[in-house]
Structure 1
Amino acid sequence: MSKRAVLEVIALDAQDAVAAQAGGADRLELVTDMAADGLTPPVAAFAAIRAAVDIDLRVMLRLTDGFAAGDVGRLVRTAATLRAEGADQFVLGFLDAEGGVDLGAVERVVAELDGCPWTFHRAIDHTADRDALRKQCEALPGLDTYLTAGSAAGVDDGLPVLAAEAGRRGEQGYEQEVLVGGGLRLEHVPALRAAGVDAFHIGGAARPDGWEGPVSAAAVGEWRRVLDEG
């Protein structure tokens, strides 16, 4: 029997967070501005969500659209402010101009996190060399998850890569959890579960009315049910 799958849901505010928890989410990814694919939320939004739910929260550290780090000093200060407010899990990941991991920027931000667990987000799907990125990042403190669709185009294209990487779990550079997200649909779940994937990330799939509408507890609950059956 495979272990209970982790279900992570994107939350923009406390209303989303309460609905996601009610539907059976294990963890939330906190962002703002989905038009830019998710940026760091205001500290007040984090505080409101933290007060509203008691599940794990991973807070995005990303100040601008794209995968360049931008103002690393500001990122570090933002991380420090969130830590002071009680944030203890994060999401980040930066690429350089050549498409490799911007290890210097990542290291500077991670140094501010005091060993807190964090996810390297879908920048991995845009890197020139996924395997090289993983091996360069493997010693970073707190890194326990890669959020990935297996392809920049989304899960439909990335399924073979996701299955292959899940199968390498435990190898050098592959100790981290594979958290699948990015165009993920319920129909993908059986094949991913069969490949050994046991963590899933949804955003739009939790929102029947699109990004202008709230998270639906019922929609999250349907994902919970399907994952638990798998």
Structure 2
Amino acid sequence: MSKRAIFEVIATSAQDAVAAAAGGADRLELAGDMAADGLTPSVAEFARIRAAVHIPLRVMLRDRDGFLPRDLDALCVTAEQLRAEGAEEFVLGFLTADGEVDMEAVRTVLSAIPGCRWTFHRALDNAADRTAVRAAIDGLPGLDTVLTAGSPAGVASGLDVLATETACAGQPGYNPQILVGGGLKTHQVAGLRALGVDGFHVGGMVRTGGWDTPVDTGLVQQWRRLVDAEVGAAA
């Protein structure tokens, strides 16, 4: 039987976090300013969320729209403050202006959060050469997940890439768990589970009216049931 998939929900507030946890989310990605595709939340908001729920929290480390860092020193200070407040898991990823992975920026931020597990996010989908990115980040300390839609245009456009990369699991550059997110729709889950995908990530799809509305527990429950139902079907 296939193992139970991880279901991660984006939360921007304690209200979101409570609703997502109640609906069956395994883990939350914490972010603010979703108009900019998700930036680092405030330390105060992280503290509120951490006090409100008891499931793993991955905190976004990103200080501007896009994948070029604005101020690495300031971002590292914020990362250290979040770590001091109890954050143990993070989400990050940086590209150069040429679309190559910015390893200096990645290593600099990682130096502020030693010993923490983390996700390399959809900078991968926006890179000039995703295979090169995977090779470059392979073996970085704490890296256990890659968030990807397979394409900068979203999951619908990236299904072939997701199939190929899922089939490469365990090979050099493909050890981190694939967490599929970015325009993910309910009707895509069954096929992805059949491919062997065991990580799913949603944000707007568990809100009734987009990012201006809070996470809806009922919608989270629907996704949880869908993800779990495919375990038996794919076994």
**TM-score range normalised by the length of the shorter chain:** over 0.9
Alignment-mate amino acid for residue 145 of structure 1: T
* Aligned ranges 1:136-147 → 2 under 5 Å: 136-147=136-147
Please state how far the C-alpha of 1:70 moved relative to its aligned partner. 2.0
Q: Distance in 1 between matches of 2:177 and 2:69?
A: 23
- Which runs of 5 or more structure 2 residues have no equivalent in the other structure? 231-235
Q: Distance in 1 between matches of 2:2 and 2:23?
A: 21
Q: Does 1:105 align with 2:118?
A: no
Alignment-mate amino acid for residue 90 of structure 1: F
- Which runs of 5 or more structure 1 residues have no equivalent in the other structure? none
Alignment-mate amino acid for residue 102 of structure 2: D
Aligned to 1:205: 205
Alignment-mate amino acid for residue 34 of structure 2: M
TM value normalised by structure 1 = 0.99
Give the length in aligned residue pairs: 230
Q: Distance in 1 between matches of 2:41 and 2:207?
A: 19
Aligned to 1:13: 13
- Secondary structure of the corresponding residue to residue 213 of structure 1: coil
Please list the CA deviations of residues 106-154 of structure 1 after superposition, one character each: whole Å capped at 9, or x if unmatched: 0010111112000001010000111110110012100111110000000
* Aligned ranges 1:59-74 → 2 under 5 Å: 59-74=59-74
Please state how far the C-alpha of 1:69 moved relative to its aligned partner. 1.5
Q: Distance in 2 between matches of 1:209 and 1:66?
A: 24
Q: Cα RMSD between the aligned structures?
A: 0.6
Q: Which runs of 4+ in 1 moved over 4 A?
A: none
Aligned to 1:115: 115
Aligned to 1:222: 222
Please state how far the C-alpha of 1:64 moved relative to its aligned partner. 0.7
Aligned to 1:40: 40
Q: Distance in 1 between matches of 2:170 and 2:16?
A: 34
Alignment-mate amino acid for residue 125 of structure 2: D
Identity of aligned residues (%): 61
Alignment-mate amino acid for residue 121 of structure 1: H
Q: Does 1:83 align with 2:83?
A: yes
Contact 1:110 1:140 in 2 (8 A): no
Aligned to 1:56: 56
Alignment-mate amino acid for residue 28 of structure 1: L
Alignment-mate amino acid for residue 53 of structure 2: V
TM value normalised by structure 2 = 0.97
